[in-house]
Chain A
Amino acid sequence: MRMAGEDFVKALSDLDEAKVIELTEKRIKSKEDPFSIIEDVRKATEIIGRRFEEGRYFVSDLIMAGEILKQVMDILRPVMGKRKGVSKGKVVVGTVEGDVHDIGLSIVTALLEAEGFEVVNLGVDQPPQAFIEAIRKHNPKVVGLSGLLTEAIESMKKTVEAIKAAGLRDKVKIIVGGGRVSGEVKEYTGADEWADDAAVGVRKIKALAEVA
């Protein structure tokens, strides 16, 4: 069974879609514990993220990875029943008010879930109040504010300020993310971290959640 795991991690990190699906089904058929498959998914996701940061993988590869991960989880979900894996904690993510883009948000959500986080994805065009309510309800370790537009920068700032005014700033770490986000944006918005790609974003969220 160890061999199956290694092959699976290799196939997934090499983005070999057909082989990953074949191996997943094979492992389920041989009654393997789905949680050991999930552990391999996490291992492969880590390799994918590393390859992205090393410049060997690109966004196209992350999109393909997200697609394969989704199919694997669809196969695993029915056999996992009600058992839950060990959660690395909750993360609330959403695109800020005025911005309706979600491609970055979806990739980050897929990668975080594969890493074992419980992700509350609020969706796009979310006003500050939606983040505040989600923090109160879910008590996340990290809040991720996403946005593609340069006009999202001002919204991110308003959201961080509103979280502060609601007295919740000390309870969460905040990361801002998106193609036009930079160190400058982190400073300006008052966030704790920033990322302009999904893989770095996931690594920084892990660090913020203190599970890195």
Chain B
Amino acid sequence: MQLYKERLERLEAVMKGKEPDRVPIYAATAVWHGAYAGYTTRDVLFNYEKSREAALKVARDFDFDAWAVIAGLEGMILCAAFIEKAPEIGVPARFLVGRFHEALKDVFTRWPGIELAENAHPQFIGKEVMSVEEYGQLAENPVDFLNKVILPRMCEKLQNPGSPEYNAALARFGLEVERYSSFFNSLIGGLISLGYPAIPMAWSYAPLDFIGDFLRDVRNVVLDLYRHPDKVKQAVKALTPLFVKTAAVSGFVPPEVKRALGTDMVLCFFPLHLNEYLNPKLYKEFYWPYLKKVFEEVIKLGQTPFVLFEGKHDAHLETLLDLPKKKVVGVFEKTDPRKVKEVAGDHVILVSGPPNALLIGGTPQKVEEFMKKLLEDVKEGGLMIWPGVDGGLSRDAKPENVKAMVEAIKKYGKY
């Protein structure tokens, strides 16, 4: 357990705003472990035993500090819909995995071996399932609206509430959630025994992203901001407490579990999507105030927001200064980490890393050069590395390049 303790201390130190002994590596993927072990994406997404075996092989062959397999696509709508009445379903259904897609036939996602080729990456495409006239209904009672109106439109198998097909689909979904949970727990157990720390993660969301991703679709929500600003605002306001609730429920960790894991930290996961799309005026009016409110409440709960600032966040960096200092961990996908430091200083805990293009198309030497420069430029005060900073390790990231990244961090990432 020495390794577990050493890695945990490193991760905790940096995420609490301090410099650890060296820069930690938080690696995550959907399918890269499968490619590494010689499996197709279909194999590892639909066969939990293969996924577990491949993930443990990576855990043994690579020296990351944290290692997570996120086997699903964006599925926060399931978490939000079930969180009140069935948290034991809503919490583990946070990511929509292939087997849930099979059970529910959601119209949002596409999967290898179903709609896509065997080795394709699964994809979230989304669909407009709510009309502009329904914003008021959403605002009135979000959870009720999601369950009664949206789930039947989002899932082909749930089209007729009360029908035999509907009941069968929900029962099957519950079964698949249970199967996925046991896979996930057994994977965590395996990783712990290999010295990989488990830091609990809670679930939340930016209210406007929820409308864009699951209800109106991205293009429509953007047009709504120009055409129906008041309706949108009323709805994001109503959704804000829901994402404090999802965090509170999913982030509740019993004291005995905290003791067993050796940590009192609870991270709260936020993937931001519309941030890159919105101009600063729209961002400050419709996106940031509500997200900020959720951040503040989640911090009050004792959780640490773990935020993926997807795309380019450059235009909105100054708003980070509105947050309490060193309470938010930020992964910046396409924003130069040097620029983040320049604008936000050490206000947010910085996470950066090599882009997948480099891990796919580069060489170990190029990776080492990139890492050396990155670490020299921004490691001061605390930094964490997220390999494949644009979405986690890509299926095609070359193992020798990932190895070179780890070695470079050991060489240039010490404090």
Specify which of A103, A149, A179 is in contact with B218 (CB 8 Å cutoff). A103
A55 in the interface, Cβ–Cβ < 8 Å?
yes
Apart from A64-B222, A184-B355, A184-B362, what 20 extra A-B contacts exist at CB < 8 Å?
A58-B278, A58-B315, A59-B278, A60-B282, A64-B226, A98-B121, A100-B123, A101-B123, A103-B218, A150-B388, A150-B395, A151-B121, A153-B360, A153-B394, A154-B360, A154-B396, A180-B391, A181-B357, A187-B361, A188-B361
A156-B110 Cα distance, complex, nearest whole Å:
20
Which residues 151-198 in A have Cβ within 8 Å of B in the complex? Answer: 151, 153-154, 179-182, 184-185, 187-189, 196
- Knowing A58-B315, A60-B225, A100-B125 touch, does A150 contact B357 (C-beta < 8 A)? yes
| B41 vs chain A, min Cβ distance (A) | 9
Do A179 and B123 touch (CB < 8 A)?
A: no
The reply to whether B222 and A63 form a contact with Cβ atoms under 8 Å apart is yes
Query: Taking the nearest CB of chain B, how far is it from the CB of A2, in angstroms?
Result: 29
> Within 8 Å of chain A (Cβ to Cβ): is B132?
no
Q: Which residues of A contact B (CB under 8 A)?
A: 15, 17, 55, 57-61, 63-64, 67, 97-101, 103, 125, 149-151, 153-154, 179-182, 184-185, 187-189, 196
Cβ 8 A contact of B355, one of A151, A180, A189: A180
**Closest chain A residue, CB of each to CB of B30:** A151
CA distance A169 to B282 in the complex (A): 43
Residues of A with C-beta under 8 A to B396: 150-151, 153-154
A-B contact pairs, 9 of them (CB 8 A): A59-B277, A98-B119, A101-B123, A150-B388, A150-B394, A179-B334, A182-B355, A184-B355, A185-B357
Number of interface residues of B (CB under 8 A): 38
Name the CB-closest residue of B to A184.
Answer: B357
In the complex, are the beta carbons of A57 and B279 less than 8 A apart?
A: yes
A interface, by DSSP: helix, strand, loop or mixed? loop
By a CB distance below 8 angstroms, the chain A residues around B121 are 98-99, 149, 151
- A30–B108 Cα distance when bound, in Å, is 46
Shortest C-beta distance, B47 to chain A (Å), equals 19
Closest to B392 in A: A150
Would you give the 0/1 interface string for B340-359, flagging 1 where the beta carbon is closer than 8 Å to chain A? 00000000000000011110
- Chain B residues proximal to chain A, CB less than 8 Å: 110, 116-117, 119-121, 123, 125, 218-219, 222-223, 225-227, 276-280, 282, 311, 314-315, 334, 355-358, 360-362, 388, 390-391, 394-396
CB contacts (< 8 Å) of A64 on chain B: these are 222-223, 226
Contact among B116, B123, B315 for A55, CB-based, below 8 A: B315
- Chain B residues in 8 Å Cβ range of A150: 356-357, 360, 388, 390-391, 394-396
In order of increasing CB-CB distance, the 3 nearest A-B pairs are A188-B361, A150-B394, A150-B356
Residue from B116, B219, B334, B358 in contact with A184 in the complex, judged by beta carbons closer than 8 Å: B358
Q: How far apart are the CA atoms of A57 and B360 in the complex, in Å?
A: 32
Q: Which interface residue of B279, B357, B388, B394 has the most chain A CB atoms within 10 A?
A: B357
Give Cα distance in the complex from A125 to B120, angstroms: 10
CB distance from A47 to the nearest CB of B (A): 16
A196 to B335, alpha carbons, bound, how many Å? 13
A101 to B116, CA, bound (A): 13
Q: Which of B219, B315, B355, B394 contacts A103, CB < 8 Å? A: B219
Q: Which residues of A have CB within 8 Å of B125?
A: 100-101
A60 touches B279 (CB 8 A): yes
Within the complex, what minimum Cβ distance (angstroms) separates A133 from chain B? Answer: 19
Nearest B-chain residue to A151, judged by Cβ? B121
